[in-house]
Amino acid sequence: MTIKTRFAPSPTGYLHVGGARTALFSWLYARKHGGRFVLRIEDTDLERSTQESVNAILEGMAWLGLEYDEGPFYQTHRFDRYKDIIQQLLDQGDAYYCYCSKDELDALREQQIANKEKPRYNGKCRDAGHALKEGAVIRFKNPTQGDVVIDDLIKGKIVVANKELDDLIIARSDGSPTYNLSVVVDDLDMGVNVVIRGDDHINNTPRQINILRALGVEPPKYAHVPMILGADGARLSKRHGAVSVMQYRDEGFLPEALLNYLVRLGWSHGDQEIFTVDEMIALFDLEDVNGSASTFNNEKLLWLNHQYIMNSDPAHVAHHLSWHMGERGIDPGQQGPDLTEVVKAQRERCKTLVEMAEASRYFYLDFESYDEKAAKKNFKAGTDEVLRHLLEKFSAIEQWEGEALHQIVLDTAEELDLKLGKVAQPLRVAVCGTAVSPSIDITLSLLGRDKTLTRIEKAIKFIQDKYSE
């Protein structure tokens, strides 16, 4: 049997990290078993579903590299199919028309709560034999005897007594299907045989199993993934910071780092922390997923992202860094050093691509002012003479390469009887505008001859003007 999993988000917002982890687990399980992964857009909530949200979900999946084998399928394109199944359940006697008003149902609920009973529909219309009239909803006639047994692949055996389940609505008064009906039909038609989803769906699972059995179908296997909590123990939400997948892209995280972090939220393989995608596929198993909730730790994700920035192929990091440079109005292909070389120079010191993009601006764009603290410390009276000495030597050099450039800095310090820092730091501030950069030889190599000489001349003038006042 070919394993088939699915990810089925509702397009009522962005792709959040909880959904992304569910998608990842479903994708990994399908890949590990040589199966197929389906993307389904559950857009039957017509009031809240938007095309913008659909686009955000597709963009998030693409950025993470979670390619799907089938889909995306849209529930709004399948209303005729749902209608047929609802009619089939009516014809079989497994569904019925219900005319209970909202006021009736509200009063029933209040009475049940007052009596300390579990609020649920009392089955008033179950055997009334109502025909279709305007305003009717359709309810599924849930079995009243026996149990539903779920052999959950993560949580183990879950037993729910049918008498605890009420007759849920499967079609609204306007004829549109409800979530529990459309999901059942989709999983049936698409051949989904392993359903991996959040454990907030556990209450839906026995109901969906009963509908499938009423249709004469063996239900899929289920795996309910525990929720993700914030540091305060509450369910992860906007107030905990970035929860949108694309917001992590915007904040400078690599997709592989986020995938690695998400797979470790509730799953482990020994003490290993860092996994390639191929290792995730080879090692992942639902049986190893922890049944309890996981806590999201931004510091751990940041550490992991830095590991990926340092150890990934620099060309791959540069590919993702390029987007951040473009957001800052920089086209690395047109106006400065090779971005891959910049990554090599900056990767040890930058934990995010945003940090790296900001720290690399001076390689591509001229700066209008010097960092105030750095200029005050390093641009002293007489520093212009040090820079003039360097300018002459740099202007005369034939090959603009790191070792020769570094030697000029060393020779200048020796000739002027200065400590190396008294030469290198003013030079760094002169060419970068700040006191922080990669080693001076790498910095100068990446900047190139023209930028270096022009910026040294500018710094000399700045110092002269400052001390001639």
* Cα 222 to chain centroid, rounded: 24
Cα–Cα distance, 92 to 214 (Å, whole number): 9
Tokens of 74: 């849209």
**Contact predicate 93/129, CB 8 Å:** no
> What pairs with residue 159 in β-bridges?
149
Report the run of H or E that residue 148 belongs to, with start and end.
Answer: strand 147-152
Cα–Cα distance, 426 to 412 (Å, whole number): 12
Residue 178 three-state SS: coil
Residues designated catalytic = 238
Cα–Cα distance, 143 to 428 (Å, whole number): 78
Helix pair 339-346, 314-327: axis angle to 10 deg: 100
The number of helix segments (H) and strand segments (E) in the chain equals: 20, 12
DSSP 10-56: -SSS--BHHHHHHHHHHHHHHHHTT-EEEEEE----TTT--HHHHHH
